[in-house]
Amino acid sequence: MQCSKCRREAIVYQRYSGLHLCEQHFNRDFEAKAKRAIREHHWIESGDTVAVALSGGKDSSAVLFFLHGLLGERRDVRLMAITVDEGIAGYRDPDRARRLSEGMGVPWVTASFRDAYGITLDEIVARKGTGLSCTYCGVLRRALMNRVAREEGVTKFAYGFNLDDGAQSVLMNVLRGDAAHLTRPVREVEGLVPRIRPFLYIPEREVALYAFLHVEGFDLAGCPYAVGALRRDVRGILDEYTYRHPATKYSLVRLGEALRRTDAAAGSGFGVCERCGEPMPVKEGKGICRACQVLDELRGA
């Protein structure tokens, strides 16, 4: 099949645009979308230190490559990468992330559950089973990432979050009836490093293609503790529906953004954890944040 814009051979078909694109036009289209997202949200400004949350997988590796190309020559914006090692044997290999980062000449910093909390995710799972592994992992990783980022003077956290991730999250919150998450406002919270998601409007398969075209040595292994039955179901439903209605994922992401700007969103706020001093949503109550609650539970407090 020929590229819709030139005579070269196409490497991808975009159902939502009706376009077949060759490698050159795919790259151009992909990077234009990511740059537009950054511009639209004013995600990167002069003076920023942007840290990629680098797991070593395809999405975060792709965002590191993209931002390196975009910011590499700029003197007014600093780029770095941070990897958190949760301690999952055979899955998380911080060395892979280090090699990716160093290969692009991007400064790299790492932190581990073992050093920060005195326990690895493998040990948590051995004690608690796999049922809540993603909850423990997510809460502790976010808290640790945020702490390291602040120590490094990071002003923006870049995630490889893509259109599929965004649409799945909105639909999952709808199915759970989780109004608090759907309407949590997008605003700056003291002590919480803001997140940016340059690939928010780009489908997962295109992010994967971009990673395959540009990055060598990213991690293809899946986490052995990934359970997420609801996310798996939602992914299946959305993929099937989007085949017939190609704009659906995009519409869901835009719906999520609109809900975060409503009056309902204006009422929800952030406070500070009484124990560790980290920011936390007020609805968590109890005076201590989720990470401290999880650590109490693990220590049998």
Binding residues for ATP, as ranges, are 53-55, 59, 84, 160, 165
Rule CB under 6 A: is residue 185 a binding residue for ligand SF4? no
Rule CB under 6 A: is residue 137 a binding residue for ligand SF4? yes
Rule CB under 6 A: is residue 119 a binding residue for ligand SF4? no
Contact 155, 50 (CB under 8 A): yes
C-alpha span between 110 and 143 (Å, rounded): 14
Rule CB under 6 A: is residue 182 a binding residue for ligand SF4? no
Closer Cβ to ligand SF4, 29 or 86, answer by number? 86
Rule CB under 6 A: is residue 30 a binding residue for ligand SF4? no
Burial class (CB in 10 A: 0-12, 13-18, 19+), 268: middle
Q: How far is Cα of residue 268 from the mean position of the Cα atoms in its chain?
A: 23
Q: In the chain, at which residue ranges do the beta strands (DSSP E only) sit?
A: 12-14, 19-21, 49-53, 78-85, 108-112, 156-158, 195-196, 270-272, 279-281
Tokens standing for 284?
């968590």
Report the nearest approach of ligand SF4 to the CB of residue 121 (Å).
Answer: 6
- 157: closest CA among 253, 69, 43? 43
Region binding ligand SF4 by CB under 6 A among candidate stretches 7-15, 222-230, 241-249, 266-274: 222-230
Closer Cβ to ligand SF4, 6 or 221, answer by number? 221
C-alpha span between 191 and 134 (Å, rounded): 24
Rule CB under 6 A: is residue 218 a binding residue for ligand SF4? no
Region binding ligand SF4 by CB under 6 A among candidate stretches 22-30, 46-54, 130-138, 146-154: 130-138
Rule CB under 6 A: is residue 138 a binding residue for ligand SF4? yes
Binding site for ligand SF4 (CB under 6 A): 86, 133-134, 137-138, 223, 225-226
